[in-house]
């Protein structure tokens, strides 16, 4: 790096001293913490984004959000040139950068890294970063910090794209790097047009307009509801009622949102008895997750139609379209093309969903929690569908299958003469149904976000498939029955609280979550030694018992997940394993207050 560049970094970073006693980690989905701690981190991620742009010679994204976390938190993450999460190989550098104690050590780190990665500052390519933020009040000033970080790399340019959903920013970055249209208007246009194409291809027998069959959506008091209102206008006739937008009185993610609905299994605020039986959905704070639900007549309980069920609906639809095209290929004497369809889940997927998908004959694989792992795995297939139970997921199409579909589209169009003969009910003719299957798959590839899970595009695809299949949310929910499950979280101490506790003269043993190390897609604990055996002994006592623990990547907690034949058994298994966590990790509840999260208040 030139001297001028070094001086600039030294000078500007001195305005952003890191908070004392806090160790930050890039985690499952970027850096997250109380917003008051993040000025320096976001500034440094600005530098990171500019270096990433220099290295990849592409446009990079920087999103300021803490998703479903409380409104006083915030976070920051980077979108790579393909719109996906930042390459994991850069995460250790991100961690080091965020935690460098002073400007000179920060500079030394950057110097080393730039040399190691052979990053050139020769100005041959534009260095551009697209910035987005959710509706959190802290977003504006953090965005300014990001801009300062970016401008401390000579020649780097920040484009403020305003308030966006996380998937919108990822979509824009991908589109920009593909040389495609990439504005927010283009996003809405592409989604709405492909949604309409899918609806136009609905088999005629199902083209019944159901009056009052509206979808009611909880926008988590965040950005997702606001953007859905715009999308609804683009879709022209989409019957969606949006509640809990950011313009109402409610607080972001408080008693609302996909994470709340999925974990607590209750209706969000603003939904009640008048919604019983309706098709409802909930977005999370930055709209990269969606779950559906049906309000039950008893109190505010719901039937949850979660990410696993969305995945199952998508898998059925894609499989149906591929089946239409299968016999065509099987008849070929040379080079028949058999697209590989794969499904990716995490250990949080309900066991009943995995059994259902395997029964369909699908290949199901597991990865660790976090979109970056699922997404990467899904790219190994021609069509890879991935979903977390909490509602984050998408369908990825390989370049290979897209070219095959385009070729097939041409081939079928040249052989199909039905229209000329005056036949319009294509579904009566095998050739035309193939053609429709191709068009449907192509429309899905344009509708569903190819960069990252996207609640808005997911919502449109669910709605289109429900119309296509003539099915209701009730029928969809009956695809299989979830095994009862329970999630608990045990608070651990972040670095700052640990210092306070120990420094305060207390001799209690406290742990941090990194003491728990897992393997096999987080289903087995390898550290501390012996804990897995104890969990196994406990799990074996329960019918259809399954249980695992893992350190959260976004909160200072250890998560416990249990599944069993009845709700009582799932609760009991989760509680017993929580006690095992206490024993092995030397956790002492009274030092940090509440032992269990608010979830336990809902246990019955």
- Under rule CB under 5 A, residue 454 binds Mg ion: no
Task: Please report whether residue 259 would count as binding Mg ion according to CB under 5 A.
Answer: no
Cα(408)–Cα(418) distance, integer angstroms = 17
Please tell me the number of Cα atoms within 13 Å of 170 on its side-chain side.
28
Among 184, 306, 555, 569, binds ligand GN1 (CB under 6 A): 555
Answer whether the bond into residue 154 is a cis peptide, omega within 30°.
Answer: no
The Cα–Cα gap between 260 and 395 comes to 24
Does position 134 interact with ligand GN1 (CB under 6 A)? The reply is no
Q: Does 228 interact with ligand GN1 (rule: CB under 6 A)? A: no
Task: Find the part of the chain contacting ligand GN1 (CB under 6 A) among 47-55, 116-124, 152-160, 363-371.
Answer: 363-371
Sheet holding 485-491, edge to edge: 485-491, 557-563, 546-551
Query: What is the Cα–Cα distance from 292 to 304, expressed in whole angstroms?
Result: 6
Does 348 interact with ligand GN1 (rule: CB under 6 A)?
Answer: yes
Minimum distance, C-beta of residue 442 to ligand GN1, in the bound complex (Å): 29
Segment near Mg ion (CB under 5 A); pick from 284-292, 308-316, 353-361, 583-591: 284-292
Q: Which two tokens stand for residue 287?
A: 């709209």
CA 122/CA 74 separation, integer angstroms: 34
User: From the CB of 330, what's the least distance to Mg ion, in Å?
Assistant: 42
Residue 293 binding partner per list Mg ion, ligand GN1, none, with a CB distance cut-off of 5 to 8 Å that depends on partner kind: none
| Eight-state DSSP code of residue 428 | G
What distance in Å separates the CA atoms of residue 195 and residue 197, rounded to the nearest whole number? Answer: 5
28 binds ligand GN1 (CB under 6 A): yes
Nearest to Mg ion of 223, 516 (CB atom): 223
Name the residues annotated as catalytic.
67
Phi, psi dihedral angles at 109 (to 5 degrees):
-60, -45
Least spacing, CB of residue 170 vs ligand GN1, in Å: 13
| 286 annotated binding-site participant | yes
Return the residue nearest Mg ion (CB atom): 67
How does DSSP assign 261-290, residue by residue?
A: HHHH-BPPTT--GGGBT-EEEEE-TTSS-E
Asked if 555 interacts with Mg ion (CB under 5 A), we say no
Segment interacting with ligand GN1 (CB under 6 A) among 55-63, 109-117, 366-374, 465-473: 366-374
The CA angle 96-97-103, to the nearest 5 degrees, is 120
At closest approach, how far in Å is the CB of 5 from Mg ion? 35
Residue 390 interacting entry, from Mg ion, ligand GN1, none, C-beta within 5 to 8 Å by type: ligand GN1
Size of the site for ligand GN1 (CB under 6 A): 15
- Which position among 22, 29, 129, 443 is part of the footprint of ligand GN1 (CB under 6 A)? 29
Question: In the bound complex, what is the minimum distance in angstroms from residue 67's beta carbon to Mg ion?
Answer: 3
Binding status of residue 128 toward ligand GN1 by CB under 6 A? no
Q: Which residues contact 24 (CB under 8 A, 6 or more apart)?
A: 31, 33, 37, 41, 95, 98, 99
Quote the least distance from Cβ 553 to ligand GN1, whole Å: 3
Q: Where are the beta strands (DSSP E) in 515-587?
A: 517-519, 524-527, 546-551, 557-563
Q: With respect to ligand GN1, which residue has the nearer C-beta, 183 or 598?
A: 598
Query: What does the alpha-carbon distance between residue 341 and residue 380 come to, in Å, rounded to a whole number?
Result: 10
Answer for which of 388, 454, 522, 569 binds ligand GN1 (CB under 6 A) is 388
Q: Footprint of ligand GN1 on residues 525-554 (CB under 6 A)?
A: 552-554
563 binds, among Mg ion, ligand GN1, none (CB under 5 to 8 A by kind): none
Helix (H) or strand (E) holding 401: helix 399-415
Closest to ligand GN1 by CB, 67 or 182: 67
Q: Which of 5, 40, 67, 138 binds Mg ion (CB under 5 A)?
A: 67
Binding residues for Mg ion, total number by CB under 5 A: 4
* Residue count of the chain: 604
| 597 SS3 class | coil
- Beta strands 302-305 and 215-222: pairing type? unpaired
With binding defined as CB under 6 A, does residue 352 bind ligand GN1? no
Tell me: is residue 484 an annotated ligand-binding position.
no
Residue list 81-120, contact with ligand GN1 (CB under 6 A): none
How buried is residue 23: exposed, middle or buried, by Cβ count under 10 Å (0-12/13-18/19+)? middle
Residue number with CB closer to ligand GN1 (13 or 69): 69
Choose from ligand GN1, Mg ion, none: what does 286 bind? Cβ within 5-8 Å by kind. Answer: Mg ion
Nearest to 49 by CA among 66, 37, 64: 64
Residues making up the binding site for Mg(2+): 67, 284, 286, 288
Residues making up the binding site for substrate: 388-390, 550-554, 559
């Amino acid at each position: 790096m030139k001297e001028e560049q070094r001086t600039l970094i030294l000078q500007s970073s001195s305005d952003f001293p890191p908070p004392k006693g806090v160790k930050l980690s890039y985690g499952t989905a970027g850096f997250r913490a109380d917003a008051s701690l993040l000025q320096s981190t976001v500034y440094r991620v600005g530098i990171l984004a500019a270096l990433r742009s220099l290295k990849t010679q592409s446009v990079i994204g920087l999103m300021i959000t803490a998703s479903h976390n409380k409104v006083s938190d915030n976070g920051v993450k980077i979108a790579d040139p393909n719109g996906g999460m930042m390459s994991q190989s850069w995460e250790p550098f991100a961690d080091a950068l965020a935690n460098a104690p002073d400007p000179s050590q920060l500079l030394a780190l950057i110097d080393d890294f730039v040399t190691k990665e052979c990053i050139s500052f020769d100005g041959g390519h534009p260095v551009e970063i697209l910035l987005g933020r959710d509706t959190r009040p802290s977003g504006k000033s953090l965005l300014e910090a990001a801009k300062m970080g970016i401008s401390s790399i000579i020649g780097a340019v920040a484009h403020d794209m305003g308030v966006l959903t996380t998937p919108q920013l990822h979509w824009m970055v991908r589109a920009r790097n593909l040389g495609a249209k990439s504005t927010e208007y283009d996003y809405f246009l592409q989604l709405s047009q492909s949604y309409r194409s899918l609806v136009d291809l609905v088999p005629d027998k199902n083209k019944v307009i159901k009056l009052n069959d509206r979808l009611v959506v909880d926008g988590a008091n965040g950005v997702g509801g606001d953007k859905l209102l715009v999308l609804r206008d683009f879709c022209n006739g989409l019957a969606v009622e949006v509640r809990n937008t950011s313009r109402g009185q409610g607080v972001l993610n408080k008693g609302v949102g996909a994470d709340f609905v999925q974990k607590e299994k209750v209706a969000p605020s603003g939904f009640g008895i008048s919604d019983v039986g309706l098709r409802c959905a909930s977005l999370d704070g930055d709209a990269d997750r969606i779950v559906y639900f049906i309000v039950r007549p008893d109190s505010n309980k719901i039937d949850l139609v979660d990410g696993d069920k969305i995945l199952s609906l998508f898998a059925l639809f894609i499989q149906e379209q591929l089946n239409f095209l299968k016999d065509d290929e099987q008849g070929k004497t040379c080079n028949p093309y058999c697209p590989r369809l794969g499904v990716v889940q995490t250990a949080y997927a309900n066991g009943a969903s995995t059994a259902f998908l395997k029964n369909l004959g699908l290949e199901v694989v597991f990865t660790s929690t976090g979109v970056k792992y699922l997404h990467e795995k899904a790219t190994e297939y021609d069509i890879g569908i991935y979903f977390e139970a909490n509602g984050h997921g998408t369908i990825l199409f390989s370049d290979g299958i897209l070219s095959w579909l385009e070729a097939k589209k041409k081939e079928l169009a040249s052989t199909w003469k039905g229209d000329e003969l005056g036949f319009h009910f294509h579904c009566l003719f095998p050739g035309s149904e193939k053609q429709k299957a191709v068009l449907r798959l192509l429309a899905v590839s344009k509708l569903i976000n190819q960069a990252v899970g996207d609640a808005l595009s997911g919502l449109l695809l669910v709605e289109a498939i429900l119309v296509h299949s003539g099915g209701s949310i009730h029928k969809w929910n009956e695809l299989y029955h979830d095994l009862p499950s329970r999630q608990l979280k045990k608070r651990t101490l972040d670095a700052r609280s640990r210092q306070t506790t120990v420094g305060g003269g207390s001799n209690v043993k406290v742990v941090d979550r990194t003491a728990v190390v897992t393997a096999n897609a987080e289903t087995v604990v390898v550290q501390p030694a012996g804990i897995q055996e104890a969990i196994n002994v406990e799990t074996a006592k329960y019918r259809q018992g399954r249980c695992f623990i893992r350190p959260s990547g976004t909160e200072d907690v250890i998560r416990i997940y249990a599944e069993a034949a009845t709700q009582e058994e799932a609760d009991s298994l989760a509680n017993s394993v929580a006690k095992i966590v206490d024993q092995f990790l030397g956790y002492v509840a009274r030092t940090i207050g509440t032992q269990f999260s608010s979830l336990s208040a809902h246990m019955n």
